[in-house]
Structure 1
Amino acid sequence: MDWGVEPDWEWSSAAGDTPERLYTLWTEAVRRSRANLREVLAESDAGRLAAFTTRDGRSPSVRRLLVDLIEEYARHVGHADLIRESVDGRAGEDPPEGFRPRAT
């Protein structure tokens, strides 16, 4: 990706994709990531430097990437909960028995 030409690419690249296409892309990315992690851990450990270089020239460890991934998922799952709560009106993890979403 040429970030100089498309500096906001990550925010607009999927604008025309269907939800089904996005879910397929995500599923494929998860599958590749899991396979890559299994390969790395079979050869070494999570302290190994990743085959990725940041813009400032550093390479994080695989452990650092995993921690960042967990943190990012946790952040967005929290956002999804807030959206869901505003839509269906319930709070918490599980609905009470007999719960029905409020009518809109």
Structure 2
Amino acid sequence: MSDSMHTRQEPPTHGPEHAQLRAWLDYHRDTLRWKCHGLTADQLAQQLAPSTLTLGGLMAHLALVEDNWLSVVLMGREGHDHWADADWDSDPDWEMSDAATHTPEELLALYDRVIARCDAVLDEVGDDLDRLSVKRSRAHDTPFDLRWILVHLVEEYARHNGHADLIRESIDGATGE
């Protein structure tokens, strides 16, 4: 897993809050791409016991999470077409199961399409971190602001990129920050 294959832009150490949050989100997106780079379909579907997580599943899951928070919750729009026919009732982790049915190229293309869609939403909203979501929290019946959503996305990526580190190391011994 060569760093020259996937360079990540280090987030700025100072500057506007919105720019820093977007930079951290991009950094973690690039980290996931790096962890999945160069693997076969079988390797992307490999599990590290006792977990059933896979790198391909994490890629699909994080695409779904971003799409849900930015398209559905923040903007009140429909999710990406890829999720439309999912049978969530019979498989609550459908995106992770479905990932094993796709080639690495298909998974990366899906991930990149969804991320481009999410970036378009962020560009549309601009730097208004106080922008409130259309959908409300089920727990508190209050909207989320964009700041909360971006911090949550960074947290979600950071947690799952830790999983990705362990899974990738178990596949081929590759390590990296």
Report the TM range for the smaller structure's normalisation.
Answer: 0.5 to 0.7
**TM-score of the superposed pair, with normalisation by structure 1:** 0.64
Confirm or deny that 1:47 pairs with 2:130: yes
Name the % identity.
44
**Structure 2 alignment gaps of length 5 or more:** 1-83
Shift of 1:84: 3.3
What does residue 5 of structure 2 align with?
A: none
Q: Aligned partners of 1:66 and 1:79: how far apart in 2?
A: 20
Q: Aligned partners of 2:153 and 2:118: how far apart in 1?
A: 11
What does residue 72 of structure 1 align with?
A: 156
Shift of 1:20: 1.1
Supply the RMSD in Å over aligned alpha carbons. 2.9
Shift of 1:19: 1.7
Q: Aligned partners of 1:25 and 1:55: how far apart in 2?
A: 29
**Structure 1 alignment gaps of length 5 or more:** 94-104
What does residue 145 of structure 2 align with?
A: 61
Please tell me whether Structure 1 or Structure 2 has the larger radius of gyration of its CA atoms.
Answer: 1
What does residue 101 of structure 1 align with?
A: none
Q: Kindly tell me the number of residue pairs found equivalent between the two proteins.
A: 90
More strand by share: 2
Q: How does 1:1-104 map to 2 (within 5 A)?
A: 5-8=89-92, 9-41=94-126, 45-56=128-139, 57-86=141-170, 87-88=172-173, 93=177
Shift of 1:22: 1.1
One-letter identity of the residue aligned with 1:24: A
